Amino acid sequence: MPGSTRERLMAELAVVSRRYMASYTLFNQALADHLGLHPTDLQCLNLLTLEGGPVTTGRIAELTGLTTGSATRLVDRLERAGHVVRERDADDRRLVLVATVPEKAAEFRRVWDRVGDGWIALFDDLDDPQLALFIDHMRRTTDFGAQQAARLRAGAV
């Protein structure tokens, strides 16, 4: 195989990355199907459970990269499915917050834990510096993915 080790590794990384993203997308679809949700709604629910409390629809738009109108429709779907409720902010009654329904959030976490335990086990044999490398990689790819999604939504290719 011609080329340096670095060139071969970079070429392999390009292929493995695309397979990784496809695998995660298909996993996300399967999990969404299992829970009776749209894949975007599933990930919004996932992000809401990580927020630590009720958020505005504007915050949901920020988290998902959706317009506020699309975020409102997403919240409507999650509300109809019983996963979230809208409530008035206690300090500013003009604000409407979106809160997860505790029983549904607990159910979501149980399902996520069942599929997520296997994911975490993939890293059991790594030492601390290797784990730190993966954490850094995931943070960087999360940021990169958000930047690329924003570019695509803006019409850039």
Tens of pLDDT along the chain (157 residues) come to 568 999 999 999 999 999 999 999 999 999 999 999 999 999 999 999 999 999 999 999 999 999 999 999 999 999 999 999 999 988 998 899 999 999 999 999 999 889 888 888 899 999 999 999 999 999 999 999 999 999 998 998 7
Going from the C-alpha of 50 to that of each of 29, 61, 63, 111, 112, the distances in angstroms are 20, 15, 11, 15, 12
Task: Give the chain's radius of gyration (CA, Å).
Answer: 19
pTM value is 0.86
